[in-house]
Amino acid sequence: MIKKWKKLTLVASLAVLWNVYPIQAVQAEQLKVNGNTLHEWNNGAKVDASVDNKGSIQIKTSTQGLKKGNYSAYVYELQNRDWSGYGALTFSIRNESDQKLPLNIVLTRSDKLSLTVSDDRNVIIVEKLTGQAELVRPVSGLIELEPGFVGQIRIPFSSLMVQNKANTTGQVSLGKVIGWGITTTTPENAKLSFRIGNIKPLSRKQAVAENGLTTLQMTGDERVVKPVTGESTVQYGVQSASEETPDVKFQLDTPVQGVSITPDGLLTLHTDVDAERATIRALVNGKWRLTTTVILDHSSAMNVQEKEETPRSIPDPSEVTKVLSPADPLMKTSVGWFIWLLLTAAGIHGLILYWLWKRQRKASGAIKRRSREDRQARRPFRM
C-alpha cells in the first residue's frame, strides 16, 4: 500500500513539474515531428503537409490559377524546446519539383521574435551525389535549390538575424524556442514538391567549423570586359570577418575557352573568349567551396565614333605596317650609341667653326679700324 502511495505521489509530482516547466532539452538526435504539432500558413498559395512514420515531412505547394504576384507558404512545428546549447541545425532535403526550390528557415523564440538566415551570411549545402560542401548565401531572403537536388542543408546559428532587422545579423541567441519551420515564396502558376527529414541540432562544439564559415565572401569584379586586343585581368580573393586567414585555391568550375585563373585568383581573359559568363570556384581549407559567376561583357570601344562619324577601331597587328623589328640592325644598342656620338661630334664641330668665324670677323674689324685711323692721320690740316 505504501509503495502504491509513493508511486502515485511520484507521478503527481512529475505531472506538476511538466506543467510548470514545459520546455524540453533538445537531444543531439533527430527531432520527433508528428502531425499533431505540425501547422500550415499561406497568403494565397495552396499548402499540403504530411508526416510519415519516420518523421519526414512531405510538403506540396501550388499557386496555379492565382493572380500575378508572389505567394508564400509556411509549414512549421510548434514545440517548446531549449536550444541554448546548440550552434546549428541540419536537415536532409529532396527537391521533387521540376523548378528551383526557394526556401528559408524560421525559428521562433519564446519572446515571439522570429529568426531567419541573413542575405549577408552563408549556409552550407551538401549534395548527396558528390558530397561537396557549398557555401551559399540567400538572395532576397531565399536559398535556391536546383530541380532534383538531394542532399543536406546546415544552418549555422551565426548566420541568423531577427526577421527584417539586418543589423542583428550574427548577434542573436536562441535559448528557448517555441517553434521552427520552412517557408517558401513562388510566383503565380508554380508548383513545388519537396521532402525534409533527419532534422537534427548540432552542439556548439560540433558546429564550430560551420559557424566560422558564415562570413566568408569572394571578392572581385562581377563583370569583366572581353579584350579586343591583349588581355583583361582581374584579381579575386576570399575575405572573412574571422581573424584566421583561410587557405584558398581558385579554379574555373568548368573550362571556358579563352579564360584562365591561377590558384591565387588572377583571372585572365584572352581575345579568343566567346562565352558570356564564367563560374569561379574557391576551395577553402581543402573542403568548403565558394562559387561566383562572372559576366563577360563585349567591349564598347568599337561602338565609339570620331567627330567625323567614322568608327573608332583598334587594328589587328597584321594590319599595321611594319616599320622596324627588334632584329633589325638599327634597333641594336651599339648603333644607337654611335648615332648619339656622331651627333655630339657634329654639334661640337659646328660650335668650333662658329667660334673661329667669330674670332676672324673680330680681327678683321680691328684691322679696318686701324687703317681708317692711319688715313685720317695723314690728311693735311684744314682751317
Strands 101-109 and 176-187: antiparallel
CA max distance for the chain:
180
Give me 225's grid cell: 570586359
Q: List Cβ neighbours of 381 (8 Å cut-off, separation of 6 or more).
A: none
Q: What is the pLDDT of residue 190?
A: 95
Instruction: Give the whole-angstrom CA distance, residue 98 versus residue 91.
Output: 21
Q: What is the pLDDT of residue 346?
A: 86
Q: What is the pLDDT of residue 53?
A: 84
Q: What is the pLDDT of residue 330?
A: 60
Question: CA nearest 218: which of 237, 240, 233, 246?
Answer: 237
How many Cα atoms occupy the beta-carbon half-sphere of 52 within 13 Å? 9
Contact between 184 and 101 (Cβ < 8 Å): yes
Q: What is the pLDDT of residue 259?
A: 96
Q: Looking up cell 585555391, which residue turns up?
A: 249
User: Residues in the chain with pLDDT < 70?
Assistant: 1-29, 301-332, 370, 372-383
Give me 200's grid cell: 537534427
Q: What is the pLDDT of residue 317?
A: 61
Instruction: Give the whole-angstrom CA distance, residue 290 versus residue 115.
Output: 24
> How distant is the alpha carbon of residue 192 from its chain centre?
28
Amino acid at 128: K
Instruction: Give the whole-angstrom CA distance, residue 61 versus residue 102.
Output: 12
> How distant is the alpha carbon of residue 372 from its chain centre?
97
C-beta atoms surrounding 158 within 10 Å: 22
Q: What is the pLDDT of residue 3?
A: 39
Q: Looking up cell 524556442, which residue turns up?
A: 177
Stated pTM of the model: 0.71
Q: What is the pLDDT of residue 338?
A: 79
Question: CA nearest 273: which of 291, 294, 302?
Answer: 294
